[in-house]
């Protein structure tokens, strides 16, 4: 969290599979000022649940991507390609 406050990032990847600490991290992200939140948040999970369905509203200002395993790597590659495309000069 301290690093995000010091310098916002384009992409933050979190694996929340069976990890209450990582779910807590997502709650802490929602409490950060908008300028300190990552632009993109990729969350790896084994299954979708009610915690994941409400994340887009909870972490406003961040594009939240819930990537279900085992296809999570393909989703992450898509996000990286989009970040690369967005970074290219017009």
Query: 88: Cβ–Cβ under 8 A, 6 or more apart, which residues?
Result: none
Query: 18: Cβ–Cβ under 8 A, 6 or more apart, which residues?
Result: 46
Q: What angle do CA 12, 14, 18 make, to 5 degrees?
A: 170
In tens, the pLDDT along 13-31 reads 888 876 676 677 777 888 8
Dist. CA 50–CA 38, nearest whole Å: 22
90 pLDDT above the threshold of 70: no
In tens, the pLDDT along 55-82 reads 777 787 888 888 888 877 888 888 888 8
Preceding peptide of 70 cis, ω within 30°: yes
Q: What angle do CA 65, 18, 79 make, to 5 degrees?
A: 20
């Amino acid at each position: 969290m301290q690093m995000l406050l010091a310098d916002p990032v384009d992409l933050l990847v979190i694996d929340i599979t069976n990890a209450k600490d990582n779910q807590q991290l997502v709650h802490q992200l929602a409490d950060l000022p908008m300028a300190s939140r990552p632009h993109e948040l990729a969350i790896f999970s084994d299954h979708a649940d009610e915690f994941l369905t409400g994340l887009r509203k909870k972490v406003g200002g961040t594009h939240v991507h819930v990537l279900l395993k085992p296809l999570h790597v393909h989703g992450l590659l898509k996000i990286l390609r989009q970040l690369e495309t967005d970074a290219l000069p017009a």
